Amino acid sequence: MVVAPLRAASVPAFPRPFVLLRAWGAGMLAERERWPLWLPVGFGSGVALYFGMAVEPPLWLGAALGLFGLAGAVVAVRSVNTMLRVALAALAAVSLGFAHAKLREARVAAPVLARKTGPVGIDALVEQIETHGKGVRIVLGEVHARRFQPATTPARVRLSLRKADGSVVPGAWVHVTAVLMPPPGPAAPGGYDFGRAAFFDRIGAVGYAYGKARPIAPLASPSLRERVTIAVATLRWHLTGRIRAVLPGSTGGIAAALITGERGLVSDADEAALRDAGLAHVLAIAGLHMALVGLGLFWVVRAILAAIPAMALRYPIKKWAAVAALGGATFYLVISGAATPATRAYIMLATMLLAILLDRPALSMRSVALAAFIVLLLRPESITEPGFQMSFAAVAGLVAVAEWEARRRMQAEREGPKRFAEARRYVHGIAVTSFVGSIATAPYAIFHFDRATHYAVLGNLLAMPIMGFIAMPAAAVAIMAMPFGLEKYPLLVLGFGIEIMLKMGRFVSGLPGAISTVPAWPVSALVLISLGGLWVFLWRRRWRWLGLVPMAAGFALALMWRGPDILVARDAATVAVRGSDGVLRLVRKARDDYSADEWLKRDGDAHDADDAVATPKQGVRCDAYSCIAHAPDGTTVAAVARIDALDEDCANAAIVISSTPADRVCKGPKLVIDRFDVARNGGYAITVPDLTVRTVEGERGQRPWAAAQPNSQYRRIKPTSLPWMRTRSAP
């Protein structure tokens, strides 16, 4: 009998996409303990979708999505199907994030001033005071003004005063005569929107005061919330005053920034030196400050209690130290102003200290996710702010690297040399922290501030020992000594440490190539980089490196991005045109210096507005009537200053930008922008040769913080009826 050879059982061949899908599913299941980390990402995505809308959604849509999100969360918890549970949880997180952002808008909504008004008399309650180089900036609540109806009166107003006497303190009622304006929008389409930030702070008008603020009798009793806010503001104001009494000038300003978060007294030169040396985080209270205060207090209290054997052997001194550290960190958060980075750092520190109290391990990346969720719950609008983005990017990167290094460090400590191990770990920690923090925050620094620092590791290696061993301990001692009037010498020690840090910052920022200015990036590039970074940071397996694909796509998109060729400011008189060499130049001296400086910065140009005015050699001809320039493709651009030039320039130019009425006169050019257009639409950004036009108000959309209307003084007139119009003589 012939026995046939045995053959392996045939295995059905699955199509490759199914194999990849199965591998994907297996990888997801292997990292199921990391799934909860994505819930705050989904919640934040819903918040971002709300802020990205061009039209304000109705309240019923927010409520409906909120109910849908709650229902989806309930079904996800009860579902036994893993993939269905994941999908429903993701949809619920996004829906709840969108709904929460909309409900937040509805809660804080308050009247926004429609047009420039004043001088107008205001009676109001002083809620906040901030000193800056040019005077005092105050925030007023409980605003009463005869010029406004109650339904149109801003809830809060921010004013600049040249100076303030002792009567202007938090909690005082004052009368002030001021010129009020709507909170300004971006200087160019896609720029920073102060009006949106002001809306969520319920500030409906900004302006400047004439003369002094005069104290008056209270007009109303403040609510409990206002009393708490005023008490905190008063405490911060007095602490800042005590600091300035010992440390005048910019050194005192930096000391105040470290303790109370008030940065208005830091000189521009010192702030630039610290920023260009990679030490800008010193001025923004965040993880470093909170860790030095909280963990430093934890170490001190535990060391003192451990030195008493009767206490150390009988009582849980570690938990007592955790309670003391939590109390100290809470007080520091309150007096620092509770900015978003400080709140994030406090939540993470509190999570770790609570884990000690409950005898549970502190899960670092979960504490990051928890902090992100709580911050978005408290202030969903913070997702648009650089403080939120840079703070969480840095800490997520640091925690991800710490998780990876934990295993490697254990092996290195077993096999490596023992001499100077502590010193090596300290230097290594500062170097890694600085490098990872700089890399993680670089895209956001470029997007928001249009600059990149290159010696941040060196700057931090030099300055952080001073910060950790001199400045912050002295600051903590000074705060504890203030109730007894003994803060002078700790503050002098703090000032000594600050002076050393400033010298190091000036040295590092003065090195060749310390910084580089980078053109602004599109939002889409930042979104791709953020999603790729989250994929790399939140997963642990090898597939985490797939996040490099969207990151690379984001960087490629940023490199291919081309800025606008023509920019027009809100006054229609400040105009910049890109020359054939690709450089953006002002056609004449800017009237709106702020917009001009912002344009140059976002274009990656380090010049200021006065140095960026074009000359005849650069192809721009000007006279008293108008300026003629040429875009990169040769398109003729006329920036008209006087109505006399309209006939000639409208006949010869393809694009006319006029600070006088022009739309009914200019019929030949492809594009005409006059003062009425910018009053209605804000600044313009134009790209040639396809003549793509973007406007500030068009980018902002129909949102409640973009509710300002054109000034009523700009009434439509018919320019052709003006008898004094005439053609200018050729230059």
* CATH number of the domain enclosing 201: 2.40.50
Rounded Cα distance, 407 and 411, in Å: 7
DSSP designation for 307? T
Give 731's contacts (C-beta < 8 A, 6+ positions apart). 621, 623
Residue 135: pLDDT over 90: no
What confidence tier does 148 reach under pLDDT thresholds 50, 70, 90? confident
- Token code pair at residue 148: 């406004």
Length of the chain counted residue by residue = 731
- pLDDT of 696: 92
Query: Which residue, 311, 331, 307, is CA-closest to 319?
Result: 311
For the chain, what percent of residues have pLDDT higher than 70?
90
Do residues 576 and 567 make contact, with C-beta atoms less than 8 angstroms apart?
yes
Q: Are residues 397 and 540 in the same domain?
A: no
Q: Are residues 89 and 168 in the same domain?
A: no
Instruction: To the nearest 10°, report the CA torsion of 297, 298, 304, 307.
Output: -160
For the chain, what percent of residues have pLDDT higher than 90?
51
Mean pLDDT of 472-490: 92
Q: Are residues 302 and 407 in the same domain?
A: yes
Rounded Cα distance, 576 and 589, in Å: 10
Q: Are residues 513 and 588 in the same domain?
A: no
In a domain, 203, yes or no: yes
Residue 52: pLDDT over 70: yes
Query: Which residue, 719, 699, 712, is CA-closest to 195?
Result: 699
In order of 145, 154, 157, the CA distances from 111 in angstroms are 14, 5, 11
Do residues 648 and 641 make contact, with C-beta atoms less than 8 angstroms apart?
no
- pLDDT of 222: 82
Mean pLDDT of 509-531: 91
- Token code pair at residue 275: 């920023």
Q: Specify the range with the lowest mean pLDDT, choosing from 497-501, 509-513, 535-539, 607-611.
A: 607-611
What confidence tier does 221 reach under pLDDT thresholds 50, 70, 90? confident
Total H helices, total E strands in the chain: 24, 17
Exposed e or buried b per residue across 404-429, where buried means at least 16 C-beta atoms within 10 angstroms of its C-beta: eeeeeeeeeeeeeeeeeeeeeeeeee
In a domain, 714, yes or no: yes
Q: What is the identity of the amino acid at 9?
A: A
Rounded Cα distance, 374 and 390, in Å: 17
What confidence tier does 31 reach under pLDDT thresholds 50, 70, 90? confident
Q: What is the identity of the amino acid at 214?
A: R
- pLDDT of 604: 87
Instruction: Indicate the SS3 state at residue 240.
Output: helix
What confidence tier does 20 reach under pLDDT thresholds 50, 70, 90? low
Give me the residues paired with residue 637 across strands.
629, 655
Q: How many domains are contained in the chain?
A: 5
Do residues 246 and 489 make contact, with C-beta atoms less than 8 angstroms apart?
no
Q: What angle do CA 150, 154, 158 make, to 5 degrees?
A: 145
In a domain, 72, yes or no: yes
Give 31's contacts (C-beta < 8 A, 6+ positions apart). 539, 540, 541
Rounded Cα distance, 352 and 348, in Å: 6
Q: Are residues 473 and 597 in the same domain?
A: no
* 433: containing domain: 249-517
Strands 156-161 and 203-215: parallel
Instruction: Indicate the SS3 state at residue 689.
Output: coil
List the end-to-end C-alpha distance of the chain, in Å, as a whole number: 114
What share of residues in the chain are helix, strand, coil (percent, to 5)? 55, 15, 30
Whether the upstream peptide bond of residue 380 has omega within 30° of 0, thus cis, is: no
Mean pLDDT of 437-445: 90
- pLDDT of 416: 54
Q: Are residues 426 and 473 in the same domain?
A: yes
Residue 671: pLDDT over 80: yes
- pLDDT of 159: 94
- pLDDT of 10: 47
Q: Are residues 194 and 292 in the same domain?
A: no
Q: Are residues 103 and 130 in the same domain?
A: no
274-287 per-position pLDDT tens digit: 999 988 888 888 88
- Of 59, 82, 108, the residue at which a domain comes to its end is 108
Q: Specify the range with the lowest mean pLDDT, choosing from 295-299, 479-483, 644-648.
A: 644-648
Residue 613: pLDDT over 50: yes
CB atoms inside a 10 Å sphere around CB 727: 13
What confidence tier does 471 reach under pLDDT thresholds 50, 70, 90? very high
Give 155's contacts (C-beta < 8 A, 6+ positions apart). 110, 111, 141, 143, 202, 203, 204
Q: Are residues 273 and 402 in the same domain?
A: yes
- pLDDT of 722: 32
In a domain, 10, yes or no: no
- pLDDT of 17: 61
- pLDDT of 449: 87
For the chain, the average pLDDT equals 86
- Of 517, 544, 575, the residue at which a domain comes to its end is 517
Instruction: Indicate the SS3 state at residue 478.
Output: helix
Do residues 447 and 520 make contact, with C-beta atoms less than 8 angstroms apart?
yes
CB atoms inside a 10 Å sphere around CB 580: 12
- Of 108, 127, 143, the residue at which a domain comes to its end is 108
Please report which helix (H) or strand (E) contains residue 139, including its range: strand 135-144
Q: What is the identity of the amino acid at 637?
A: V
- pLDDT of 410: 57
Query: Which residue, 53, 62, 126, is CA-closest to 96?
Result: 62
Instruction: Indicate the SS3 state at residue 644.
Output: helix
Residue 612: pLDDT over 60: yes
Of residues 116 and 67, the one with the higher pLDDT is: 67
- pLDDT of 211: 84
- pLDDT of 205: 94
Query: Which residue, 527, 552, 727, 526, is CA-closest to 645?
Result: 727
Q: Are residues 442 and 310 in the same domain?
A: yes
Q: Are residues 283 and 394 in the same domain?
A: yes
Do residues 157 and 207 make contact, with C-beta atoms less than 8 angstroms apart?
yes
Do residues 90 and 68 make contact, with C-beta atoms less than 8 angstroms apart?
no
675-721 per-position pLDDT tens digit: 899 988 999 999 998 889 999 999 998 999 986 544 433 333 333 33
Residue 728: pLDDT over 90: no
Query: Which residue, 430, 347, 352, 354, is CA-closest to 391?
Result: 347
The pTM score is 0.88
Query: Which residue, 612, 583, 577, is CA-closest to 597?
Result: 612
In a domain, 345, yes or no: yes
In a domain, 172, yes or no: yes
In a domain, 6, yes or no: no
Mean pLDDT of 265-270: 90
Any idea which residue has 């292997």 for tokens? 30
In a domain, 20, yes or no: no
Q: Specify the range with the lowest mean pLDDT, choosing from 184-188, 287-291, 467-471.
A: 287-291
Q: Are residues 333 and 425 in the same domain?
A: yes
